[in-house]
Amino acid sequence: MIEGLFKENLKNFKPYTVPKLDYEIKLDANESFLKLSPYIMEKILDKINKVEFNRYPDPAAEKVCALYSKYIGINKKNIMAGNGSDELIQIITGALLDKNEKIMTLSPDFSMYKNYAETAGGKAITFQLDDNFNLDVDKLIDKINGEKIKILFISNPNNPTGNVLKRESIFKILNNCSCAVVMDEAYMEFYGESIVDSIYEYENLIVLRTCSKAMASAAIRLGFLITNSFMINEIKKAKPPFNVNSVTQALGEVLLSEVDYIKSSVEKIKREREFLVNELNGIDKIKPYPTYANFVLVGFEDADFVYKKLLGNKIVVRNYSDNRLKNFLRITVGSREENKIFIKTLRSILK
């Protein structure tokens, strides 16, 4: 039978789908609410005109890596580009995990760590954050060493909680665990603190970044992996040769030449975050959690009810099916107008 051709653990998986919903305000995917400026769009179109479509892309994506190197102040030989940071998670699990080897992931955290670990033939062990979504670092370290974990994945700031792990805690993990420690800094720009400067010091540290959030470019699929020379050379062995296409590389070059623009976009998003959080804090019977990202996790008495009512008003937010987040919704920061409509609608739903 043809079913027998597939991996055993794939049977429990569901393909990633995005439901086709009828909405006008989209606050469900942690995207930037800002569109790229007309000036940048013009530069992009000009650059695309120069792409040689008959040729394969640069397999090392050298130009974008060099520009990213300037952006983060790390040597370009320590940077590898990916088709979104999603692909980089897949490449890491592909390079490091042998059959049945384990990764450690937090709950809640980004679900793709577990998915890619399991499709690579590995296993995912979950460590629960406490009721306020804080991490007991000492217990985590004991569990990592007891379970012989190969890779620890942590998103910092955490998606979906918006919480962060301070540098001292990350250093404690790095100093006490020999597994690869992947710090996924997809939302780092909204927080302002990074661990990337420590890649030379810690041989087991890998940092992930993306252009999908602060750079308002989820469509182009461009992410970066940053680590020491030994790690990067090993990980590259598991990379598809032409993983970042030429159009994405061209767009990335334009984007990363506009660092001031990126910084001012982040400031705009942070201002809207402040507005949204203040408004949420003024609403009874809900519990917004502190956030350092471009979204807010909010606890409700009945999240399903609120989700459906919001959708009825053409506003889509992120709802969860797993038990831990049953009564939570994750709200992406929108524009001032979107945030105002969202708050007004939410108030009337909860009345």
Beta carbon of residue 207, minimum distance to ligand PMP (angstroms, whole number): 12
Nearer to ligand PMP, 57 or 223 (CB): 223
CA 202 to CA 196: how far, in whole Å? Answer: 10
CB nearer to ligand PMP: give 157 or 288. Answer: 157
Q: Which is nearer to ligand PMP, 113 or 345 (CB)?
A: 113
Q: How far is the CB of 210 from ligand PMP (least distance, A)?
A: 3
DSSP 99-141: TT-EEEEEESS-THHHHHHHHTT-EEEEEE--TTS---HHHHH
Distances (CA, A) of 346 to 19, 133, 256, 343: 22, 24, 37, 5
Contact 157, 188 (CB under 8 A): yes
Number of other CB atoms surrounding residue 225 within 10 Å:
25
Q: Using CB atoms, what's the residue nearest to ligand PMP?
A: 84
CB of 28 to ligand PMP, least distance (A): 11
**Can you list the pairs that 301-310 forms with residues at least 24 positions away whose Cβ atoms lie under 8 Å?**
301/327, 302/327, 303/327, 303/328, 303/329, 305/349, 306/346, 306/349, 306/350, 309/345, 309/349, 310/342, 310/345, 310/346, 310/349
Which residue ranges make up the site for ligand PMP (CB under 6 A)? 30, 84-86, 110, 155, 159, 184, 186, 210, 212, 218, 223
Crossing angle (nearest 10°) for helices 62-72 and 246-256: 30
Query: Which residue type occupies 204?
Result: N
Nearest-approach distance from CB 197 to ligand PMP, in angstroms: 20
Q: How far is the CB of 159 from ligand PMP (least distance, A)?
A: 4
Q: How far is the CB of 305 from ligand PMP (least distance, A)?
A: 25
CB of 102 or CB of 209, closer to ligand PMP: 209
Q: Of the two residues 84 and 122, which places its CB atom closer to ligand PMP in the complex?
A: 84
What is the Cα–Cα distance from 208 to 252, expressed in whole angstroms?
Answer: 16
Nearer to ligand PMP, 122 or 223 (CB): 223
In the complex, what is the shortest distance from the CB of residue 1 to ligand PMP, in angstroms, rounded to a whole number? 34
- Token representation of residue 337: 């107008």
Q: Which is nearer to ligand PMP, 110 or 300 (CB)?
A: 110
